[in-house]
Structure 1
Amino acid sequence: MPSLAFFVSATVLFAQSTVAFNCSTKPVYVDIHKRAVHDSPVFQYGSFIGVGTGETASATSAQNHSLWPSLSQNYMSFGAHSYCQKSTLSKCADSTGGFYSSNQSTTFIEYKDFKTLDADSNNTLEGYFGQDTLRLYTHFFETDGASQTLVENSTIEVATSGAIVPGRVGMGPSSTLLQDLAGREMIAGKTYSLYIGQGFDRAGGKVNGSNVFGGYDSGRFTGIPHQYPMNINNVNPMSVRIKDIVITNTMSGTNQSLFDTKDFPDMKSAPQTFEAQITTEQFPLSLPYQITQNFIKALNGQKDNYWGDNSLKLAQNHNATLSIVLEDGFTVTFPPEVLRNASNITPIQNRDEDDNTPFLLGSAFLGQVYLMADYDSNNFFLAEAVQKNNMVMPVTFCPKSTPEAYERPKQNQWQSQGLIGAVIGGVIGGLGCIGALYCLYVSWLRKSDERRLKRDLARNEAAKLEQMDVEPAPSFEGPPTKSVKEKVMFWKKG
């Protein structure tokens, strides 16, 4: 029988493994969609986050922005008003996510001689650092008001020049926002989930996205999530290995693998599985040169740079899907409207033969999957995204646990096919019809009785009139002609 010391030590170990994370802490949900941003005349797509405090110290005095999620950057960054003067960003004035004025915030404090953690990660932003109050807005529906989560004295970067969108949510492995939230016990741990959506111009869709700090939206994905280890040595720490890419003709149902040497004899041997890094820094996918050439041959693709990202264009109207098969069997499928948009532009980027940069799965990939990252265990999860989610269900993502998708109540065959409702509806409808017919029958009986009663009364009246004979008036003798005395005398004489 185990000793008391055994139970005490086991209890202590269990307590040590659970006390570190308060998994009852609710997550912070921040939506992603187009909205008005500070000092910009256009609506911009991004995460609804404010920064700074005005003289009134209220939410209305904050400078609200639409920040683009970044899986490599570690800092929250905001574009200064001078950013577009030196930037090479296309349509810069309408693409910054808003403009930030540090001198208009009473809570901003600039850091001197600050050394950034992003210096060795191909960061293209330049500027200065400091601390300010962040306002994470929880805004479930566009028609509803937003609530805010204040993160005071949080490190931010004020970008003054660069080639990318400066307004960014830094969600890299050393994210200062996650450290602030988890360190202040505002979330359960350094966990984060992202659905980037398709409501921005390059994607050309209407589905909005979301961030969940310390949690995930259980209604945003389906199936069992697939787990992968992070490689924190990469600029983009989340990477997967791809073993096949298949094009499926939606009309004929035929499949064509871009790895098949029979369909593409230019390849001397079948390609090996390759690693691709997941990123939000670009929209298209950058695949190995030979795979890209096979894609061009399979769909008659051609070079194009309409969006400035070297995405390929299809010469003909192909109706097909593209499926990326990961090493563990998880398959991500691009539907026809994503593989070829209204302008025939694809989410596949052209690649030169001597290009030695990492292979990338851009925002087009994240538009089809739900990503959940656990920076406490350096693991992340991918699952099939639910594109149109009518319910927002953020739940806590406890570190070192596996997220679970929301399961709708199970229904038997009668329920799933609506037969119970049909039967109940039929029964209720039948009873209603019977009740209505009964009421009509009762009403008819009443009217029939009334008519019968009127007829009976009429007959009785007629019968009574027939039985009533008029009797003639009786005849009476006239008054006597002689007096009584004379009569008496008469009787005496006789």
Structure 2
Amino acid sequence: MASLVLYLSATVLFAQSTVAFNCSKKPIYVDIHKRAVHDSPVFQYGSFIGLGTPSQNQSLWPSIAQNHTSFASHEYCSNSTLKSCDKSTGGFFNPEDSVSFVKQPSFQTLDRGSDASFSGSFGQESVRLYTHFFETEGASQTLLENSTVEVVTEGSIIPARLGMGSSSTVLRDLAARDMIAGRTYSLYIGQGFNRAGGAVNGSNTFGGYDSGRFTGTPHQYQMNIANVNPMSVRIKDIILTGTNDNSNVSLFDNTAFPEMKSRAADFEAQITTEQFPISLPYQITKNFMARTSAEKDKDNTWGDNSLRVKNSFNGTLSIVLEDGYTITIPSEVLVNASNITPIQERTEDSKAPFYLGSAFLGQVYLMADYEMNTFFLADAVQKNNAVMPVTFCPKSVPEAYQRPSQSQWQRQGLIGAVVGGVVGGMGALAALYCLVVVFYRKKDERKLQKELKKNEKTKMAQFDIEEAPTFDPPPSKVSKARFWKKT
């Protein structure tokens, strides 16, 4: 009897777990690119999102640490140390111009260990998620009403942030209102922002993933909820490859760096969008500097303490995770045109976490399942020709788009050769046919001329020649030829 009760209980729990998620819901795709934003004189890179009624359009930077979606008020730049603040906030929001904004003065923040980089007040507002597959086409809107947002009034960083942390209010509201399958989310950060210096746009997918944005089988990892950035991985090796001589060296290898007493131990690194550079342990950073002749950037060009190489270095850096998955930072990202690297300076006594910043995320596609506290990484297709959003049902494993399989003839181009041969052969036959027709026409014309001459001689032989009578001569050859000529 006890076993029957246990079986029934398990069946009920399984049914509840499957019914809880409506996996027939389509995902919501929001692209990331540079665009015009409210009350700003320049285009700014970010997620295409509007706020308020009427809409005040913004470009929001995805934050996988922050839970609230935040917007800059007009007074932010008066109380901020942000460089070029009027052109860097992602837009401005004026609550007084919106008829749907409701203040929430007693709301308590959901962000643990609140980021002291900015502060503001909370309210409920209509958030407009714009699906914009191509920049040349119009956008469609998903309206999320009465969602909690933060209006930032002072700080030192870009305040316009799309909160996609483990307690994301946007993700929570979308799932609770049955607008997406569950609290799942996917991100490609892109490279179209100034620090990255690229041209490839990114994307957010709420309740789904873009199956054409990654390749291969995704690698699955467990979130570490104790971290502010819960998506953490363990790194077991970092390999520096020289492109010119194709030489490899492990930054963990004590035989390549004699000052190390033993091989470096693996370490945990938090994946984050809060900074661009990658922050590594002190000894690993020193090894990188020694191998590439990198040094501290005295000007701190980007304000993120990225190292600068003295001379150009043409190589790649590969990060090997605990399960063997390897992510390679290409040479153009490892050292940019100004010789700035994405590796962050680090002091020996620093207690800060190790980070894999946006430079890392520019090479991978990130898919998070907050219902199960798991996430996936896969090689990103940086320039995809089509957007293919697919529902990301909680507890499932994302699958990359598989192009239709081709036969051996198709792969080797034999079909094209056969088609070309057939078409060419038909053309040759047509040309041969024309030659045959011309030949027989000429033959018929020659035969006709002979017949005319023969008839003429025969007629002349039949006449009795007399001296007196006269008669009209027979038609000339020219006239006969003209009579028989086809028109």
Q: TM-score, normalised on structure 2?
A: 0.91
1:277, 1:229 → 2: CA distance? 12
Q: Is residue 243 from structure 1 mapped to residue 211 from structure 2 by the alignment?
A: no
Residue 150 of structure 1, CA deviation: 0.4
Q: 1:390 aligns with which of 363, 385, 396?
A: 385
The aligned counterpart of 2:263 is 270
- SS of equivalent residue, structure 2 residue 48: strand
The aligned counterpart of 1:423 is 418
Contact 1:219 / 1:391 at 8 angstroms: preserved in 2?
yes
Residue 348 of structure 1, CA deviation: 0.4
Alignment size in residue pairs: 465
1:42, 1:436 → 2: CA distance? 63
The aligned counterpart of 2:472 is none
- SS of equivalent residue, structure 2 residue 401: coil
| Aligned residue type for 1:413 | Q
Contact 2:333 / 2:342 at 8 angstroms: preserved in 1?
yes
Residue 261 of structure 1, CA deviation: 0.7
2:358, 2:113 → 1: CA distance? 23
Q: Could you say if the C-alpha distance between residues 89 and 474 of structure 1 is closer, same or farther in structure 2, counting changes exceeding 3 Å?
A: closer
Contact 1:77 / 1:156 at 8 angstroms: preserved in 2?
yes
The aligned counterpart of 2:452 is 458
| Aligned residue type for 1:350 | E
* Identical-residue share of aligned pairs (%): 65
Contact 1:230 / 1:239 at 8 angstroms: preserved in 2?
yes
Residue 30 of structure 1, CA deviation: 0.2
Q: Looking at CA atoms only, which structure, 1 or 2, has the larger radius of gyration? A: 1
The aligned counterpart of 1:48 is 48
1:69, 1:423 → 2: CA distance? 51
The aligned counterpart of 1:222 is 215
- Give CA-to-partner distance per residue, 1:379-416, whole Å, 9 cap, x none: 00101111111111000000011101111122233322
Q: What is the root-mean-square deviation of aligned Cα atoms in Å?
A: 2.1
The aligned counterpart of 2:132 is 139
| Aligned residue type for 1:215 | G
- SS of equivalent residue, structure 1 residue 452: helix
- Give CA-to-partner distance per residue, 1:459-490, whole Å, 9 cap, x none: 23432443242454899xxxxxxxxxxxxxxx
The aligned counterpart of 2:174 is 181
- SS of equivalent residue, structure 2 residue 138: coil
Instruction: For structure 2, list consecutive stretches of 5 or more residues without a partner in the other structure.
Output: 470-487
Q: 2:288 aligns with which of 264, 282, 295?
A: 295
The aligned counterpart of 1:161 is 154
The aligned counterpart of 1:37 is 37
Residue 117 of structure 1, CA deviation: 1.3
Q: 1:467 aligns with which of 461, 467, 476?
A: 461
1:460, 1:110 → 2: CA distance? 115
Contact 1:238 / 1:278 at 8 angstroms: preserved in 2?
yes
Instruction: For structure 1, list consecutive stretches of 5 or more residues without a partner in the other structure.
Output: 55-61, 476-494
Q: TM-score, normalised on structure 1?
A: 0.90
Q: Is residue 112 from structure 1 mapped to residue 105 from structure 2 by the alignment?
A: yes
1:49, 1:25 → 2: CA distance? 21
Residue 424 of structure 1, CA deviation: 2.3
The aligned counterpart of 2:369 is 374
Residue 90 of structure 1, CA deviation: 1.7
Contact 1:121 / 1:235 at 8 angstroms: preserved in 2?
no
Contact 2:112 / 2:228 at 8 angstroms: preserved in 1?
no
Contact 1:81 / 1:99 at 8 angstroms: preserved in 2?
yes
1:360, 1:418 → 2: CA distance? 47
1:429, 1:4 → 2: CA distance? 75
Q: 2:273 aligns with which of 249, 268, 280?
A: 280
The aligned counterpart of 1:412 is 407
The aligned counterpart of 1:432 is 427
